[in-house]
């Protein structure tokens, strides 16, 4: 049977540790910047976003409650997160939607000015599964252009909300200006597809689990889980290449009752000398340099 899905991966032949300075783990903090790109009738979208810390659907009119929830991320959450990264000397990847770049270019410019990467997270905060080819091609181009205009730095990374389409990766590769995408959740090790790097992402080491039913309630729930995963991958990284992603959102971890969870994680990981904490563009470039040409 020829299977379109790869269930084997690196099984039995995992690549050796390869990170700079003999680090046992490459650690990536990803801050998803989606505020203003969520679906909203008030912005001319066909429907309102219905998922946040409440589960409610407003139809036929703008959902001013939902819009206000999202705006917390830019008005307060970003500053708390940025200050913590500065305090601990951590450079992250800010994965931003294109409409955010048009509505809040000052925020992305500030992040880039602090030395963080700004990458692409779709034009709107929406799935690409089933999107018509031309529409997706336009969305990718529009997003890339808006972030370049906002920061002055052409982005090299892409991550779709939830599912990409069957065409997404091919469209990214065809453009020639994307080094990597993060539309994979199936490994703890990067891989190559030709000259394109696939950096795995994760929904478990992610503040999205503060959402109803997600399992995180207190700040320590987040920090305990993330540091536990960190310790396991760090130990495994002595024998094989390991990468870890920590997903964050301005409007979620940026809340005053949760931000301590991120601070605890940063205290923990920066105290270790054999961990490479880097933006995803740097991790992707290093992997391409050391594993370029791999299948």
Question: 3-state class of 286 per DSSP?
Answer: helix
Q: Is residue 8 part of a domain?
A: no
Quote the domain boundaries for residue 235. 20-291
Q: Is the pLDDT of residue 53 over 70?
A: no
Predicted pLDDT of residue 41: 87
* 219, containing H or E segment: helix 219-236
Q: What is the mean pLDDT of residues 269-293?
A: 95
Indicate whether 6 belongs to any domain.
no
Say yes or no to pLDDT of 55 above 90. Answer: no
Strand, helix or coil for residue 275: strand
Q: Is the pLDDT of residue 106 over 90?
A: yes
Q: What is the DSSP letter of 208?
A: G
Residue 3 lies in a domain: no
Please choose, from the candidates 154, 147, 156, 158, the residue with its C-alpha nearest in 3D space to the C-alpha of residue 181: 158
Residue 22 tokens, joined? 């003999």
DSSP string spanning 110-133?
HHHHTT-EEEE--SSSS--TT--H
CB 143 within 8 A of CB 160: no
Longest dimension (CA), the chain: 57
- Give the residue with greater pLDDT, 192 vs 44: 192
Distances in Å between the Cα of 233 and the Cα atoms of 77, 126, 226, 230, 239 are 29, 31, 11, 5, 10
What digits encode the pLDDT tens for the residues 67-94?
889 999 999 999 999 999 999 999 999 9
pLDDT at 52: 66
CA distance 106 to 218: 31
Domain count, the chain: 1
Residue among 176, 184, 180 at smallest CA distance from 192: 180
Structure tokens of 274? 């054999």
Nearest to 161 by CA among 256, 257, 39, 69: 39
| 3-state SS class at 250 | helix
**pLDDT over 60 at 294, yes or no:** no
Query: Distance between CA atoms of 67 and 71, rounded to whole angstroms?
Result: 6
Mean pLDDT for the chain? 95
Residue 150 lies in a domain: yes
Q: Would you place residue 110 in the very low, low, confident or very high pLDDT band (cuts 50, 70, 90)?
A: very high
Mean pLDDT of 126-150: 97
**CATH assignment of the domain containing 52:** 3.20.20.370
Residue 11 lies inside a defined structural domain of this protein = no
Tell me the pLDDT tens digit for each residue of 26-44: 999 999 999 998 878 888 8
Find the length of the chain: 295
- Return the residue matching tokens 């997706």: 136
């Amino acid at each position: 049977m020829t299977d379109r899905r790869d269930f084997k991966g690196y099984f039995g032949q995992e690549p050796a540790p390869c990170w700079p300075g003999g680090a046992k783990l490459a650690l990536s903090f990803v801050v998803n910047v989606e505020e203003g790109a969520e679906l909203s009738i008030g912005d001319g979208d066909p429907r309102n976003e219905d998922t946040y810390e409440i589960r409610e659907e407003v139809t036929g009119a703008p959902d001013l409650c939902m819009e206000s929830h999202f705006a917390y991320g830019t008005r307060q959450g970003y500053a708390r997160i940025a200050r913590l990264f500065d305090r601990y000397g951590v450079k992250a990847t800010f994965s931003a939607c294109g409409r955010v770049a048009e509505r809040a270019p000052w925020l992305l410019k500030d992040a880039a000015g602090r030395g963080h990467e700004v990458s692409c997270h779709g034009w709107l905060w929406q799935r690409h599964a089933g999107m018509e080819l031309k529409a997706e091609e336009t969305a990718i181009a529009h997003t890339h252009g808006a972030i370049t205009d906002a920061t002055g730095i052409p982005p090299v990374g892409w991550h779709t909300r939830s599912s990409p389409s069957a065409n997404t990766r091919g469209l990214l590769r065809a453009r020639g200006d994307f080094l990597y995408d993060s539309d994979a959740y199936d490994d703890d090790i990067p891989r190559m597809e030709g000259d394109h790097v696939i950096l795995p992402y994760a929904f478990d080491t992610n503040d999205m689990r503060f959402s109803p039913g997600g399992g995180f309630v207190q700040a320590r729930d987040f920090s305990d889980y993330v540091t536990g995963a960190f310790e396991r991958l760090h130990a495994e990284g002595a024998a094989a290449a390991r990468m870890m992603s920590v997903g964050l959102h301005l409007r979620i971890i940026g809340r005053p009752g949760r931000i301590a969870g991120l601070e605890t994680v940063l205290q923990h990981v920066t105290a270790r000398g054999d961990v490479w904490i880097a933006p995803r563009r740097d991790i992707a470039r290093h992997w391409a340099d050391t594993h370029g040409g791999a299948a």
